[in-house]
Amino acid sequence: MLMNVDECRIMTKDKTILIAGYSNGFGSALKDRFEAEGYTVSGVARSGSATLHADLSAETDVHLLFEKLDQSYPPLAGVIHNAMQFLHAPLLATSGAQMEAVWRSMVMTAFLISQHAVPRLLAQNGGSLIFSGASGSVRAGAGFAAFSSAKFALRGLAQAIAREHGANGIHVAHVVIDGLIDTEKTFQRFPGSDKNHLIKPADLAEQYFHLFHQPPSSWTHELEIRPCHARF
């Protein structure tokens, strides 16, 4: 039986979406999209405009974060993992500390969050984990040794969790964002970017929303998104 929009909102109004690595731009677009359908959305980051602040690469912080969610928020429906640390530097100019910091920002954060989220999703008879990748997740360019190696690892982690817990009703998706998103950070990192060739945050958020609501018989594990001008 098909449900109308109001019925869907009734079903989702008591569920929480956690956005890990929240920032204005894409994060706020995700928040707006899910809140429009009745979800409670909590964004977490080390600082900034996030609802909650935590170091997601630290086990204690992640444990306390999920305790806070348990105490003050509706049950978890899913997590969107956007945490990352961008680094574009030659191999020989990249320090071990930088390499570790980039890896921890993307891989350790995803690992710790997943360890805490999965039991809660299992208790709710399923849910969704979406991991934001990049073109560097599938092809590494010069100057991206740290960034791409971490993104490759994140992709592998997503595949492992999908194979381990997909049968338990947990939909794991990895999104290869093959392009720049139209945000303030993009223009800081890549001055002179053409706004006409950028991915619109609201359009990208719509794709994530659809991933969250795919029927179990036709889940997408990996989705590649790029603006129309981009080359494959």
* 163-178: pLDDT as tens digits: 999 999 999 999 999 9
Which residues 6+ apart lie within 8 Å of 113 measured at CB? Answer: 18, 20, 56, 62, 79, 81
What is the reported pLDDT for 229?
72
Q: What percent of the chain has pLDDT over 90?
A: 81
Rounded distance between C-alpha atoms, residue 145 and residue 94, angstroms = 8
Residue 132 φ then ψ, to 5°: -85, 115
Residue 224 and residue 83: Cα distance in Å, rounded? 18
> Over 50: is that where the pLDDT of 158 sits?
yes
pLDDT (tens digit, 9 = 90+) per residue, 71-85?
Answer: 999 999 999 999 999
Q: Which of 9-23, 141-155, 180-194 has the highest mean pLDDT?
A: 141-155
pLDDT, mean of residues 54-60: 97
Alpha helices in the chain (DSSP H): 5-12, 26-36, 59-72, 96-103, 109-123, 145-165, 184-189, 201-212
| Dihedral sign (CA 77, 227, 151, 138) | positive
Q: pLDDT at residue 231 above 80?
A: no
State the average pLDDT for the chain: 91
Whether 5 shows a pLDDT value over 70: the answer reads no
Select from 3.30.390.10, 3.30.390.50, 3.40.50.720, 3.40.190.10 the CATH code of 78-225.
3.40.50.720
pLDDT > 70 fraction of the chain, expressed in percent and rounded: 93
The predicted model gives 84-102 an average pLDDT of 97
pLDDT at 230: 67
Report helix, strand or coil for 128: strand
Q: Which two tokens stand for residue 55?
A: 């170091």
- Confidence at residue 10, expressed as pLDDT on a 0 to 100 scale: 37
Per-residue pLDDT at 147: 97
Q: What confidence category does residue 48 fall into, taking pLDDT thresholds of 50, 70 and 90?
A: confident
User: Which has more confidence, 4 or 64?
Assistant: 64
Check residues 141 and 228 and name the one with the higher pLDDT: 141
Looking at the predicted structure, is the pLDDT value of residue 197 above 90? no
Q: Where are the domains of the chain?
A: 78-225
Per-residue pLDDT at 108 exceeds 80: yes
Across 179-208, average pLDDT: 84
What's the pLDDT score for residue 9?
38
pLDDT at 57: 97
- Position 13 scores a pLDDT of 57
Distance CA 36, CA 7 (A): 13
